[in-house]
Amino acid sequence: MGTYDGAMSHRVAFVGQKNYEPLSLNRSIRRAIELCGFDLNRVRGAKVLLKPNMLGAYPPSMGVTTHPAFVASVAGIFKDAGAVVSAGDSPNGVYSNEQTWERTGIRAACLEAGISEAAFEASGSVARDGLMIARAALDADYVVNLPKFKTHGLTIMTLAAKNLYGCINGMQKTALHRECKNIPEFADVVARVAGIVKPALTIIDGIVAMAGNGPSAGTLVELGVIAAGTDVHALDAACCRLVGLDPRELDTLAAAQRQGLWDGAEEIDLAGDPLDTLRPKKFSLPVTYTRGMRDWWVSKFIVARIWSGMRAQPRIDPDICRRCLLCIDACPVAAIDQAKTDAAPMIDEDACIQCFCCHEICPYRAIDLRKSALLRFAGWMSRRRSRARSTR
């Protein structure tokens, strides 16, 4: 893998874009690339891999995956710049690759743009810094990261850094969930993957974003934003601010800071349309998030000791469940099973490690996340603390 020798900077560009109409979309993406300081002249003759979010076999209308028109547009821009372009991702291991390529519309986008599909699983994995990374992601001269702007039950948001977790092939992603005892440990893995893959450029599809209980069962928000930058962490911090989330609460940013990959800069060099003109009136975060909890020593103390009691718990609604059984395959600790054939699966709460993989992959939104009583209490304490601080 080559690395980008252009300026890795704290510059982040925001461009307003209301829809996926090809001509205006192309203009806006080009503007975002230029404003964030990425030099397209560098990619002439180079192998460029586009890494969209292809979580699973979801149609574009569900807003779970990067919109195919977005992928086609970026592909066209890099082809025009003289690059040899491909696109690919590794979906969640329970989904068939073929169905994912088809249903997301990204196969059609590749055909339309005349670029090839990068088959992550078929390329195999390469050991890097203790992690197995898809060879396809390491073989490219430049990786262009194309995340969807979404919330995430486990990591609050899935933006630039988290999108690169797809560079771990198939069920290896699930296995890593089992190995991580808590969110900071998982965030460390995400930051390490981002540090290894090191995309040259990230362009986030926030035209239709997902709020609430993402990454697949949230509510769609017409955010109307394209965000671009060469530093995934600066971009994540800026996107947090756009939706009113303190970047210091994002575990993946804290992990990047621990690893020396992010300096925690308060100042980010913003370019393009002013944030105030793009800020959504309302953008709800997952129920698993409680403002102010992550940097409070009391909650850290509790999390370290009674982790499972401090989390939200997934619940299967048997009336919505369609018995596809994908959640059983997705669970890294075999905490889900069927009592009898044709019954909705049930979750063994004692065995559950609250990784929310089942919630993430359920295609019918039959799995809800509910806060534990202890988490609700801690949230109440945290809000009281914030109010007391603000009146001092």
Binder among 36, 118, 271, 358 for ligand SF4 (CB under 6 A): 358
Q: Select from 85-93, 164-172, 294-302, 343-351 the region that touches ligand SF4 (CB under 6 A).
A: 343-351
Binder among 333, 346, 374, 381 for ligand SF4 (CB under 6 A): 333
Closest distance of CB 367 from ligand SF4, Å: 5
* DSSP letter string, 328-370: HHH-TT--EE-SSTTSPPEE-TTT-----HHHHH-TT--EEEE
- How far apart are alpha carbons 59 and 56 in whole angstroms? 9
Q: Which is nearer to ligand SF4, 12 or 336 (CB)?
A: 336
Q: Select from 45-53, 67-75, 256-264, 320-328 the region that touches ligand SF4 (CB under 6 A).
A: 320-328
Q: Select from 29-37, 197-205, 273-281, 327-335 the region that touches ligand SF4 (CB under 6 A).
A: 327-335
Asked if 352 interacts with ligand SF4 (CB under 6 A), we say: yes
- How far apart are alpha carbons 142 and 120 in whole angstroms? 16
Question: In sequence order, what are the beta bridge partners of 211?
Answer: 219
Query: Rule CB under 6 A: which of 205-234 touch ligand SF4?
Result: none
3-state helix, strand, coil in the chain (%, to 5): 40, 20, 40
Say if residues 34 and 271 touch (Cβ distance below 8 Å): no
- How far apart are alpha carbons 105 and 62 in whole angstroms? 12
Asked if 322 interacts with ligand SF4 (CB under 6 A), we say: yes
Closest distance of CB 64 from ligand SF4, Å: 14
If residue 116 lies in a helix (H) or strand (E), which one and from where to where? strand 116-117
Asked if 29 interacts with ligand SF4 (CB under 6 A), we say: no
Question: In sequence order, what are the beta bridge partners of 227?
Answer: 14, 204
Q: Select from 129-137, 252-260, 275-283, 316-324 the region that touches ligand SF4 (CB under 6 A).
A: 316-324
Q: What are phi and psi of 109, to 5 degrees?
A: -65, -40
Binder among 335, 371, 378, 379 for ligand SF4 (CB under 6 A): 335
Binder among 168, 327, 375, 378 for ligand SF4 (CB under 6 A): 327
Binder among 8, 84, 138, 324 for ligand SF4 (CB under 6 A): 324
Closest distance of CB 119 from ligand SF4, Å: 25
Asked if 268 interacts with ligand SF4 (CB under 6 A), we say: no
Buried b (16+ CB within 10 A) or exposed e, 175-187: ebbeebebbbebb
Tally the C-alpha atoms within 13 A of residue 270's C-alpha that lie toward its C-beta: 17
Paired tokens of 247: 């970047």
Asked if 369 interacts with ligand SF4 (CB under 6 A), we say: no
Please work out, in degrees rounded to the nearest 5, the angle formed at the alpha carbon of residue 56 by the alpha carbons of 55 and 60: 90
Closest distance of CB 170 from ligand SF4, Å: 16
Interface contacts to ligand SF4, rule CB under 6 A: 314, 316, 321-327, 330-331, 333, 335-336, 344-345, 347, 352-358, 362, 364, 366-367
